[in-house]
């Protein structure tokens, strides 16, 4: 059964939009936003002391979504907020908010499943991941 949504301040990752990630309209290409989400995700996990690459498992994305609210263009300075919102037996959900200044520019989410590399089947999250992520949800003020 999933652990309910967190109630604390999100992790923030700041970056600039690269020219290579824009399309002919000058806006960020829709697929590029997921690379920025992933960069923020990796820094969030690093801040928690979790690094991907645990032997024998993979962490594929099984669901991704993104809604654009404002134009995001080359050289925009953005803050990407990351929140762990669900912790299941074998999966996690991370929600993202991209801010230009204090304005919401995009929001999205990814669901990541822990998978055995050999069997290609979902398996329980490693105990060390579960412990840290459960504490991340539990230890936050209501």
- Structural domain contains residue 83: yes
- Structural domain contains residue 101: yes
Instruction: Encode pLDDT of 6-58 as tens digits.
Output: 456 799 999 999 999 999 999 999 999 999 999 999 999 999 999 888 778 99
Q: What's the rounded Cα separation, in Å, for the pair 38 and 15?
A: 12
Q: Is 33 helix (H, G, I), strand (E, B) or coil?
A: helix
Q: What's the rounded Cα separation, in Å, for the pair 92 and 18?
A: 28
The total number of structural domains in the chain stands at: 1
Instruction: Encode pLDDT of 72-117 as tens digits.
Output: 999 999 999 999 999 999 999 999 999 999 999 999 999 999 999 9
CATH number of the domain bearing residue 91: 3.10.129.10
* Structural domain containing residue 111: 11-138
Query: What is the pLDDT, as a whole number, of residue 141?
Result: 41
- Structural domain contains residue 5: no
The band of 139, judged by pLDDT with boundaries at 50, 70 and 90, is low
């Amino acid at each position: 059964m999933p652990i309910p949504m967190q109630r604390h301040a999100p992790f923030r990752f700041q970056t600039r939009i690269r020219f290579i990630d824009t399309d002919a309209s000058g806006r960020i290409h829709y697929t590029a936003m997921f690379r920025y989400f992933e960069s923020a995700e990796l820094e969030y996990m690093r801040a928690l002391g979790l690094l991907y690459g645990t032997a024998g498992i993979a962490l594929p994305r099984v669901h991704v979504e993104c809604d654009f609210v404002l134009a995001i263009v080359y050289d925009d300075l953005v803050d990407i907020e990351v929140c762990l919102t669900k912790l299941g037996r074998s999966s996690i959900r991370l929600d993202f908010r991209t801010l230009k200044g204090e304005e919401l520019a995009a929001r999205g989410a990814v669901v990541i499943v822990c998978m055995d590399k050999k069997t290609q089947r979902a398996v329980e999250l490693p105990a060390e991941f579960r412990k840290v992520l459960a504490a991340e949800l539990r230890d936050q003020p209501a």
